[in-house]
Amino acid sequence: MNNEIVKNFLRIFLLSLIQIFVLKEIVIFGENGKYSEILIYPLGLILLPLSTPRFFLFFFAFLTGIWIDIFYDTLGVHAAACLWMAFARPYVLKFMEPKSGYTMNQHPVAQELGVFWFMQYMAILLGIFVFAYFSMKIFTLVYIADIVIRSVLSFTISYFILFLIQIIFDPKS
């Protein structure tokens, strides 16, 4: 179990470093400011084992979000979005549970549960994350159209990149 914790911690740390030092500076669909962002660090939380207790799920989500917030100067926006995603994860897993159920040592990856299952699972959680992120970043419903447009653009780009990462690299190992 300790080996599993270390691997997941290193995955989250590596994805967050790539997010902070590479993807933070990329501007897509906007000249004067970012209109869309590539967000890959949520993949570390999405790929946590199915047997991860809720306390550790929330703990990892909060630490990951605060770590990103420190470098983005966003005062808890990433942490809150990560916590929303962590809160929704058990419900999404229950909703998507196969008829045969999950095993305790199973990971939510395409190699174990199928590509179609993983695509749906990642889409739901990433959608929750991205919408929560932009809702809290903009923080007013006056700009709901702006929130939706940014969410859709960022979701599309991030989803494509995260799916490629998950297929190319075997995240379970």
Query: Which of 103 and 80 is assigned the larger pLDDT?
Result: 80
Q: Provide the residue range defining the domain that includes 25.
A: 2-168
Is 6 inside any structural domain? Answer: yes
| pLDDT-derived band at 173, boundaries 50, 70, 90 | very low
Is 152 inside any structural domain? Answer: yes
Backbone angles phi, psi at 48, to 5 degrees: -60, 145
Is 64 inside any structural domain? Answer: yes
**Using CA atoms, how far apart are residues 49 and 33, in angstroms rounded to an integer?**
37
Is 88 inside any structural domain? Answer: yes
**Using CA atoms, how far apart are residues 25 and 32, in angstroms rounded to an integer?**
13
Is 173 inside any structural domain? Answer: no
Tens-digit pLDDT profile for residues 5-48:
788 888 889 999 888 988 877 767 665 556 788 899 999 999 88
DSSP label at 36?
A: B
Q: Quick check: 123 pLDDT over 90?
A: yes
* CATH code: domain of residue 45: 1.10.1760
Domain count, the chain: 1
Is 122 inside any structural domain? Answer: yes
Q: Is 26 helix (H, G, I), strand (E, B) or coil?
A: coil
Q: Which helix (H) or strand (E) holds 20?
A: helix 2-21
Q: How far is CA 93 from CA 26, 135, 138, in A?
A: 32, 24, 29
| pLDDT-derived band at 92, boundaries 50, 70, 90 | very high
